[in-house]
Amino acid sequence: MTKNSYSPILTDTTKKTFFDYIDALDIPQIDYFAIGVQNQVNKKSISLMSLPEWQKHFSNNQYADYDPIRRVALHTKRNFIPFQEIDFVDNFGKEIMRQREMMGIKNGVILMQRFEKFNYMITLGTGFSKFDAFDFLKRYHDKIHLIKTDLINLIEKDASDFLPPTLLKPATHLSDDAK
């Protein structure tokens, strides 16, 4: 497995804008947000999480290669993945999910924007154990779509610095009106 396959986004302006943006959002039940970019070629990723203590814990303990949420995003073609449908794979994956839950992220959904060699991954999390992902999607579809687009645009500069230029061709990137 790839070592050091995860790094947090540390750009001050990106972090400030991210936290200002999520502080202004009002989506019932959702109290955790994360946005990241996954390079499918080398299986490396960067992200920004709304719980800095979880991001630090995740990074310091090098959970990226074993995290069930990250694994499912890398190894499936789905674009909407509820937490309750994630296979923990092994006991270490189960432990990572337990630690995530202890930080208040019990349930949620993963939203993907996929391209040929990279993905944007948005995680919306909640402390509610009875969270119904499909009801949430039906009720907040338009708002979720806007949040997804806004968060992708927010980390676009960090993504372009992270991904090699050969992966980020203008014809395949969201900011160039790709759908």
- List the domains of the chain with CATH numbers: 6-163 (3.30.450.80)
In this prediction, residue 172 carries a pLDDT of 47
Rounded to the nearest 5°, which phi and psi values hold at 133? -60, -40
pLDDT in tens, the chain (179 residues): 445 589 999 999 999 999 999 999 989 899 999 999 999 888 889 999 999 999 999 999 999 989 999 989 888 899 999 999 998 878 999 999 999 999 999 999 999 999 988 999 999 999 998 999 999 999 999 999 999 999 999 999 999 889 887 776 654 455 544 44
Give the contacts of 127 (CB within 8 A, at least 6 positions apart).
31, 104, 105, 106, 107
In this prediction, residue 173 carries a pLDDT of 52
Rounded to the nearest 5°, which phi and psi values hold at 47? -160, 170
Using the 8-state DSSP alphabet, how is residue 85 labeled?
Answer: G
Does the predicted TM-score (pTM) go above 0.85? yes
The number of beta carbons lying within 10 Å of the beta carbon of residue 127 is 16
The number of beta carbons lying within 10 Å of the beta carbon of residue 164 is 12
In this prediction, residue 89 carries a pLDDT of 77
Rounded to whole angstroms, the Cα distance separating 14 from 47 reads 11
